[in-house]
Structure 1
C-alpha cells in the first residue's frame, strides 16, 4: 500500500476513546473482554507523526450519575440488564432509553484513570465527558439530546480549529462509546474510520450489527492493513 490515493485534503486526528482502568480487565468494574489487548495497536497509532492531533477521552462521572444501576430503585436496577428512560431536563418531550451499568469511572478514582500502558506522552489533549449526572453521554462530543443539547465537550470545535478532515477512532467500547463518538464525528462533517484492531465490544456478539449501523451512517470500519491506514505513512 502507498499514499498515492490519499485524499488531497488530509489532516487526520486520532481519537482514543475511554481507555480507562474500569473498562479493562482484570479489575475494571465494567471490564470489556480483552480490552487491554488493543493497547499495542493504539500506541502504534499514537506514535504515527501524520496525525494532526491525538486526543484521549475519559468517562468522568459524578457518583450520582444516572447510568449507574445503584442510583435507581429495585427491582429495575440490575447492571447490564435494566434500562431507564432519560428525560431532557430542559425539554420533557425529548427522551431516550439507556442501559444501566455498574458504578464506573467515578471522578478522581483509580478506575477513572487511563491505563498506564497507554503512552500518554504522545497525547495532545485529554477530554472528559459524562460529567452531568442527568444524562448519559457515550459520545465524546455531546449527549444525544438536540432540543436543546444538555452537555457538549467542545470537541467538534477543537477538531475544526485544527482543520481536521479525517478522524480515526479506537478505544472502548466498540458498541457504545466508540460507536457513538464515530457517528457524531461523521455527523459533524469529518470522514471517519473505526480501526477494527483498536477496539473491543461490551457484547462481542453485537459486532456485526454495529458494523452495519456504523456503515449506515457513513463511518468506515477499517483494518490496520487497509488503504486508509497506508495514508498515514508519510514515506
Structure 2
C-alpha cells in the first residue's frame, strides 16, 4: 500500500476573513492538515489550487443581469471537448475567486507547504468548471480540453509513484474535495475523505447529500484520528 494526501484548494479566496468565496471555518483546518502533511505514511503530498482566468464561466459578473447573482443563480454550461458540445450541465455561479496570479489564488500561509511534493493548478480553461483535481465537470480526463484546464495529469502522477490509496482534505467538502475523492475512486484507487479536515459551502443538508454521493461512489468518509490514517504510520 502506498498513500497520497491531496490538500484541496486551501487558498486565500476560500478562507475567512477576506476571501471572496470564503468557506466558514476553512482557515481553522490548517493545524489538522499540517498534522496529516507531517505523517510519514504518505508517499506523496499534493496541493491543488484553483487558477482561473478573469473570464471564467463560473464567475457571476461574467453573465448578464438579472439572473447572475452568485450562489443563487445557475447557467447551462457546454462540454468543450470536440464532438461533445451538445452535452450540457447546470452550473452554479460564484463570486470572482482565485484568479491566476492574484493574492486570492495563493495557498494560505498557515499551511506548511514545505511538506508539499506536487502542486496541481486547475480550472484554467475559461469555458468549463473544474472542481476535481483529476477532471473537469464533464469528466474529461485525457482529452486535449483537460490539458487546457489543469497543468498536471494527476492520475498519471499517482500511477508513476505506485499510489494505491488517496486521502482528500481541504475545501470545499461538498464541492472540490468531494469531486476529487470521487474521481480518485473512479481512477481505481482506494479513496478516503477526512471529514474533520474539510469545511463546506453548504454545511448541514448539503454535506449530508455530499456524503451520500461519496458513499455511492465507493469513497470512505473517515477521521484524521481514525484507524485508516493511524495505520499509515503504524499508530492505530
Counterpart of 1:26 in structure 2 is: 17
Aligned to 1:210: 210
Counterpart in the other structure of 1:4: none
> Which residue among 135, 146, 153 is the counterpart of 1:151?
146
> Structure 1 pair 82/30, CA: closer, same or farther in 2 (3 Å)?
same
User: What residue in structure 2 maps to residue 137 of structure 1?
Assistant: 130
The answer (yes or no) to whether the contact 2:36–2:224 under 8 Å persists in 1 is: no
Q: Secondary structure at the match of 2:88?
A: strand
How many Å apart are 1:146 and its aligned residue? 4.9
> Equivalents in 2 of 1:129, 1:224: separation in Å?
26
Q: How does 1:192-231 map to 2 (within 5 A)?
A: 192-205=191-204, 206-231=206-231
Instruction: Report the CA distance between 1:170 and its aligned residue.
Output: 0.2
The 4+ residue runs of structure 1 with deviation greater than 6 A are none
Q: 1:58 aligns with which of 45, 49, 56?
A: 49
How many residue pairs match? The answer is 226
Separation of aligned partners in 1, 2:216 and 2:227? 20
Deviation string 1:114-164 (CA, Å, 9 cap, x unpaired) is 000100000001110000000000001111325784224400000011000
Change (3 A) 1:59 1:146: closer
- What is the TM-score normalised by the length of structure 2? 0.93
- CA deviations on 1:172-199 (whole Å, 9 max, x unpaired) are 0000000010000100000011001110
Which residue of the other structure, out of 36, 39, 62, is the alignment partner of 2:30?
Answer: 39
Match of 2:234? 234
Q: Which 5+ residue runs of structure 2 have no aligned equivalent?
A: none
Structure 1 residues 184 and 146 mapped into 2: Cα distance closer, same or farther (>3 Å)?
A: closer
Q: CA deviation at 1:220?
A: 0.5
Aligned counterparts, 1:116-127, within 5 A = 116-127=109-120
Tell me the SS of whatever aligns to 1:175: coil
RMSD: 1.3
